[in-house]
Amino acid sequence: MANESATITVMKMAARKASIRLKRDYGEVGHLLISKKGPGDFVTAADVRTEKILREELGKARPDFGFLMEESGEIRGNDYNRRWIVDPIDGTTNFIHGLAHFSICIALEEYGQVTAGLIFDPINEELFWAEKGTGAYLNDQRVRVSSQQNLKNSIFATGIPFGNNLSKIEQNDFLQKMQGVMSASAGIRRFGSASLDLAYVAAGRFEGYWENKLNLWDIAAGILIVREAGGIVTDLYGKDYMATNGSIIAANPSLHKPLLDLVKLKV
């Protein structure tokens, strides 16, 4: 059983409270899928409501901390050095389509460093969490990255660009990189939630994961959880600027470099 701080207890309670309504809302999406209007507006409301519950719960427990939240943006607290980084639904597109693969993400950043992270998949009741220096956990069990050393036996997750969020040149570059990984590995998965992709790397389910154009709230908790599970996380240039350039690669220590060699960004 893990020894956890008061902070992580606060985070877990907030996530569990927010998840009760969120699960009910997810149940509604099923009905709305076949309605003319579709579930889009309803899901936006669910997103905002979940964020509000998280803000209230975290704010009650730590009144001075600030927030960076997907829906509300930056909210300064009295304590300038501590803030919660929150994504109320990571995997919103899955949620909208009635696909049961999304999470609530909470990270605590202190003096610019994430010191605690939580990723909660409320449908599967999987709560991934870590605190700096004390390891990574799935519910009450310690998790570690996979020990696989060969690319050819490995599966990797990624996020395939959608709509026009990449230029044609970037799209082609991505396709070329996918081709490299698909030839070298046992396969690629695209599950649609950056946080759960990172959580699954931490739990050894995926050997690695890479994606570009993400926001800090998608990855803040996951970076800590993967590192505490013994994995390596960098940006797609092999550096530590995930928060500023929004690119990320996470893998077990044996496969981080081989995967990076296949998917590295040049410019």
Residue numbers of the site for ligand 2AM (CB under 6 A)? 87, 90-93, 159, 192-194, 211, 214-215, 218
- Distance of alpha carbon 73 from the chain centroid: 17
- Listed in sequence order, the residues at least 6 apart from 124 whose beta carbon sits closer than 8 Å to its beta carbon are 100
Q: In angstroms, what is the minimal distance from the CB of 129 to Ca ion? A: 17
Which residue is nearest to ligand 2AM, using beta carbons? Answer: 159
Collapse the DSSP code of 143 into the 3-class scheme (helix H, G, I; strand E, B; otherwise coil) and give the result. Answer: strand
Shortest distance (Å) from residue 217 CB to Ca ion: 6
Cβ-based neighbours of 219, under 8 Å, separated by 6 or more: 194, 195, 198, 242, 243, 248
Question: Two tokens at 8?
Answer: 């992580």
- Return d(Cα 264, Cα 260) in angstroms, integer: 5
55: burial class by Cβ within 10 Å (0-12, 13-18, 19+)? Answer: buried
In whole angstroms, the minimum distance from the beta carbon of 235 to ligand 2AM comes to: 15
Q: Does 109 bind Ca ion (CB under 5 A)?
A: no
**Tokens 């800090």 found at:** 216
User: What is the chain's length?
Assistant: 267
**Residue 218 interacting with Ca ion (CB under 5 A):** yes
Piece in contact with Ca ion (CB under 5 A), picked from 29-37, 75-83, 170-178, 215-223: 215-223
State in angstroms the smallest separation of the CB of 198 from ligand 2AM.
9
**198/259 with CB nearer ligand 2AM:** 198
| Least Cβ distance, residue 33 to Ca ion (angstroms) | 21
87 is a contact residue toward Ca ion (CB under 5 A): yes
| Binding partner of residue 207 among ligand 2AM, Ca ion, none, CB cut-off 5 to 8 Å per kind | none
19 binds, among Ca ion, ligand 2AM, none (CB under 5 to 8 A by kind): none
